[in-house]
Amino acid sequence: MRVLLATAAVLALCGCASLQTAFPSTTTAQPTEASASAAGERELLEVERRLSGLAQQSGLGGALSTVIDPIDGVVIRPGVTLQGPEAVAQGLPQIQNGPVFWQPDRVVVSTGGDMGMTSGRYVQVVPGAEAQQGRYVIVWRKDTGGEWRALSETRTADPPLVRAPVAPTRPPPRRR
């Protein structure tokens, strides 16, 4: 699944000459002033903050449909790819399925300031069941109006915890 995430991000960035020139360095979710792309990083963090707030009101599908690129944007889930705002709004869980929370822990913006990527942890609350946790990745591109639009959004749940089997205890051997 991690390979799928990486492949989706690379494919979405194919328009860049090379990943090395497009993303010469990475930063954590707190951009530094010395970074040439600090303004873009701050913008993406603000977009993520607004998106998270909107998801609490209108669900993940409703929130993502407001930022997904209308032509090239896709949301990838196991077994389904949703393309465009309408498909995203209808195809993702609504707010009655429980709120979703996320926090970016990585923000990368190209030197040109027109491409970016955010990734981090998410928690999907499922009423009556255990919350689902995992990682997400969103690849962003600025549109002609200067607004950040999501080209690709995907999430992958953490694998379930597997407890090691407890070896049966044997009584110590008898001494004769």
Question: Which of 51, 103, 81 is CA-nearest to residue 152?
Answer: 81
What is the predicted pLDDT for the residue at 122?
A: 95
The verdict on residue 68 lying in a domain is yes
What is the predicted pLDDT for the residue at 74?
A: 97
What is the predicted pLDDT for the residue at 35?
A: 53
Q: Convert the pLDDT of each residue in 135-155 to its tens digit.
A: 999 999 999 999 999 999 999
49-58 long-range contacts (CB < 8 A, ≥24 apart) are 52/101, 52/102, 55/99, 55/100, 56/95, 56/99, 57/95, 58/95
The verdict on residue 45 lying in a domain is yes
What is the predicted pLDDT for the residue at 7?
A: 39
What is the predicted pLDDT for the residue at 29?
A: 53
Reading the block at residue 64, the tokens are 């993502």
The verdict on residue 134 lying in a domain is yes
Total domains in the fold of the chain: 1
What is the predicted pLDDT for the residue at 19?
A: 34
Longest dimension (CA), the chain: 88
The verdict on residue 162 lying in a domain is no
Q: Around 23, how many Cα atoms within 13 Å sit in the side-chain half-sphere?
A: 19
What is the predicted pLDDT for the residue at 30?
A: 54
CATH number assigned to the domain comprising residue 46: 3.10.450.50
Please list the ranges in the chain whose pLDDT falls under 50. Answer: 1-27, 31-34, 36
The verdict on residue 175 lying in a domain is no
The verdict on residue 174 lying in a domain is no
Domain encompassing residue 111: 2-157
The verdict on residue 164 lying in a domain is no
Give pTM, 2 decimals: 0.71
Reading the block at residue 142, the tokens are 């600025």
